Amino acid sequence: MHDSGAVRTRSQLTRDLRLARGTASVLVAGLAEAGLLHEEPAPGHARGRPTQVPGPHPHGPVALAADVREDAWELAACELGGRVTVLDVRPHDGTPQGTLGPLGEAVAAHRRRLGHRVVGVGVALAGPIRHGGLVDIAHLGWRSVDVPALLNLPDGPAAQPGAPAFEPGETGARPGEPRPGTPVIGNDTVLAALAEARRGHLRDVRVGLHLHVDFDLGGVLVVDGRPVPGASGAGAEFGHMPLSGGDRPCPCGATGCWGMDVGANALLRDVGLAHGGGRGREQAERVLATNGEAVEANARALGRGVAALVNAHDPEVVTLSGHGVELLQRAGQALMAACEPGLMAIRRDRPPRIEGSALGWRGSLLGAMESVFDHFLTPEGLELWRKNHPDQARDTPDRQSVTYSTLARHKPL
């Protein structure tokens, strides 16, 4: 139900999972009793026995997901099936404390409001993540910032009655895995790629490449639906490879990084405007909309790097999110003209598709959601939910519609 976006009917899910109808009925009843799903009649059903669509229970699990960009953060509540309700959007001052402190306070407030429904917190950040929670954001001067410590969220359920029924992680977690009581921290490109593999153009793609363009560029290889994060979790950094022929020093410490020539910072620099430090988004969007020469220069640099990565990884599909979608729309010919000469002859015969993300700017947030539900939707996670919700008893929402929940006063997407 979650993977399909809560749009398939019970009969469709029964057929897809190759279940007997009786078995499916028992499973649905048990999941409804546990407060995990609730059925509604299919839209537009007119005659005969109503066709039911399993969807999220009005009092069921919620993942809190945050997308922390270089100039602002967005916080949302996400229900099973992928329904997203934006709770808060705020600019920040670019400092670790000024960014993560207010976010942590907002997360804590919504955890208190939603109570036992919150099963975890996922956070996407615009920089490499090491060992599950240390982030470096070069353009903001962040170095080894301990994200969980600055978010300062309450401990897990054992320490606080009424807290989330499930917190991801385990004692002695491997690098890249969360500790008990901490949020799931991920790189924005990795999480955007995860979402694209679950709900976008990389779904059912064996080998794909995802590139996320914001102020600069991130990229990651996706194999069998999973981004390849690297040994310490900091592997989604194709933007810090010398792929476009530039020689500018990058704030990361390297020289000639691809990301110096692709993204909002490059657009601003090309027209002589101040750039860096996570500032200038509105000006960059105006340049993107009005200055064809700057946009084509950005697109050409993007195309040259794509060619190198295609030669190296042989992907079936290359997807672009963030400003990458607009670069493809506005200067797709320039991008392809720069990409093709860099391809090996064997790649030119059957080049991979290059597509704009199906999720637009929402990918990183949805990926943060998926990272939480990946931990929750396990035998252990569901058993903990059932043990901590003995009073759920039956599927009796306040009103017989999944649109009426404790999230209803916030705007869904």
Question: Side-chain half-sphere of 152: how many Cα atoms within 13 Å?
Answer: 12
Could you tell me which residues come within 8 angstroms of residue 79 by beta carbon, excluding any fewer than 6 positions away? 56, 60, 61, 62, 85, 405, 407
344 and 312, same structural domain?
yes
Q: How many angstroms separate the CA atoms of 294 and 312, rounded?
A: 28
Measured distance CA(67)–CA(368) in Å, rounded: 8
| Average model confidence (pLDDT) across the chain | 87
Q: Over 70: is that where the pLDDT of 173 sits? A: no
| CA separation for the pair 169, 172 (Å, rounded) | 9
Residues 182 and 246 in one domain: no
Dump pLDDT digits (tens) for 364-406. 999 999 999 999 999 999 999 988 876 654 444 443 333 334 4
> Are 317 and 379 in a shared domain?
no
Tokens of 316: 């079936």
411 falls within a domain: no
Does residue 408 lie in a domain region?
no
Instruction: Examine residue 406 and state whether it is found in any structural domain, yes or no.
Output: no
In this structure, the answer to whether residues 206 and 329 fall within a common structural domain is yes
How many domains does the structure of the chain reveal? 3
Q: Does residue 279 share a domain with residue 151?
A: no
Taking CA atoms, 53 is separated from 8, 21, 202, 252, in Å, by 6, 14, 26, 49
For 123-156, write each residue's pLDDT tens digit.
Answer: 999 999 988 789 999 999 999 999 999 999 875 4
Cα separation of 222 and 192, whole Å?
11
Same domain, 107 and 48: no
Cβ 133 vs Cβ 145: under 8 Å = no
Is residue 312 domain-resident?
Answer: yes
**For residue 115, is pLDDT > 50?**
yes
Residues 120 and 221 occupy one common structural domain: no
**CA 270 → CA 154, 289, 297, distances in Å?**
45, 14, 9
**For the chain, what's the residue count?**
413
Residue 163 in this model has a pLDDT that exceeds 50: no
Give the Å distances, CA to CA, from 393 to 33, 165, 337. Answer: 5, 16, 61
b/e 353-381 (16+ beta carbons within 10 angstroms → b)? ebbbbbbebbbbbbbbbbbbbbbbbeeeb
Q: What's the CATH number where 144 sits? A: 3.30.420.40
Give how far Cα 25 sits from Cα of 49, 181, 405, Å. Answer: 15, 35, 24
Instruction: Find the domain containing 132 and state its range.
Output: 62-190+362-387
Question: Both 347 and 254 in a single domain?
Answer: yes
Considering the domain boundaries, does residue 296 fall inside one? yes
Q: What is the pLDDT of residue 153?
A: 85
- The per-residue pLDDT for 79 is 97
